[in-house]
Chains A and B, each alone.
Chain A
Amino acid sequence: MLELASHILDIAENSVRAGASLIEIDIDEDTANDSLSIEIIDNGRGMKQEEMEKVLDPFYTTKTVRRFGLGIPLLADAARRAGGHFKLESQEGKGTTVKATFGLSHMDRQPMGNIISTLIVLIAGNSDVDFFLKHRHNDRRSELDTRIIRKEIEDVPINHPEILKYIRGVLEEGFSEIKPEA
């Protein structure tokens, strides 16, 4: 993984596989505290205590097609290398929250990369799941909530090319307004 946006896509795909219907992605850039935090909150099936203890182990996975699961260990390592922390909270039947923090100006912090592409790919590939992006850069904020869009477009599928084009436009506007550093 070369960019944080890829990690976000990967963790959100985990949420999709856990049966989440709503996935919230919070990105928070705080220059004064030199911190970047990324939080992915889902309402999927959650994990048991024993499972939570095992997720940081690269040789633990719930899948049967292969014997390793690298998504979470890779994110935890990326945070650790950039002077940050990784935290996982989960409640069985309620959902899971993954939080990673990074030193914003840390030399080894991976670049954010293309977060717009990550969101578009998530929405297009999982049209039955709602996504809520909250992106903050100091006092500037930008949000995208697919629940609002879905209500407005009624029977038009959210992954229709015209709707995706609209979402891409909204994300690009939000991006140019908050001028992220990461």
Chain B
Amino acid sequence: MAKLTIADLKKIKEKVHAEMSLRDGERRVKITVHMGTCGIASGAREVLDTLLQEIAEAKINDIVVTTSGCMGLCSREPLVTVEILNQDPIKYEYMNPNKIRQVFKRHVLDGEIQLPFVLARGAEITK
């Protein structure tokens, strides 16, 4: 396989530019994977990596993925917060690659909250 070069990056940029002009840049969903020591130790990295691959496969551009620190519920990690525009955030507990695939396909894409995995609805309040 030919080596990846800066020239490849230019091609990708042009391709992404062409696609971007066709869509509006609205962000519909924000997904936060909690990446504290506790999250990392219980598999948050694999959860986020799986999520990134699912997003790439689905070829959608209106999702922002980000990480945050520990929120004090270490025993329920990996935790993932899904925020869909104009809806309450949903926190999912004990995530793993298979569960996040299900949450992505059913909740993020189809809008059905995956109740068996839900920890809470709403945002946490930090003191």
Binding site for B on A (CB under 8 A): 1, 6, 9-10, 13, 17, 63-66, 69-71, 74, 114, 117-118, 120-121, 124-127, 148-149, 152-154, 156, 159-166, 169-170, 173
Contact of B56 among A152, A154, A165 (CB under 8 A): A165
Q: Kindly specify which of B31-39, B87-95, B98-106, B112-120 makes contact with the partner chain.
A: B31-39
Closest B residue, CB atoms, query A149: B9
Interchain CB contact under 8 A, B9 and A166: yes
Interface size on B, residues (CB 8 A): 39
**Chain A binding surface, main DSSP class:** helix
Closest 3 CB pairs of A and B: A125-B67, A65-B72, A161-B56
Q: How far is the CB of A115 from chain B (nearest CB, A)?
A: 11
Interchain CB contact under 8 A, A9 and B45: yes
Q: Give 1 or 0 for each of B19-38: 1 = CB within 8 Å of chain A CB.
A: 01000000000000101111
Residues in chain B near residue A164, CB distance under 8 A = 52, 56
Interchain CB contact under 8 A, A1 and B41: yes
CA distance A126 to B48 in the complex (A): 12
Closest B residue, CB atoms, query A1: B41
Interchain CB contact under 8 A, A117 and B69: no
Contact of A70 among B37, B45, B59, B66 (CB under 8 A): B37
Q: How far is the CB of A98 from chain B (nearest CB, A)?
A: 14
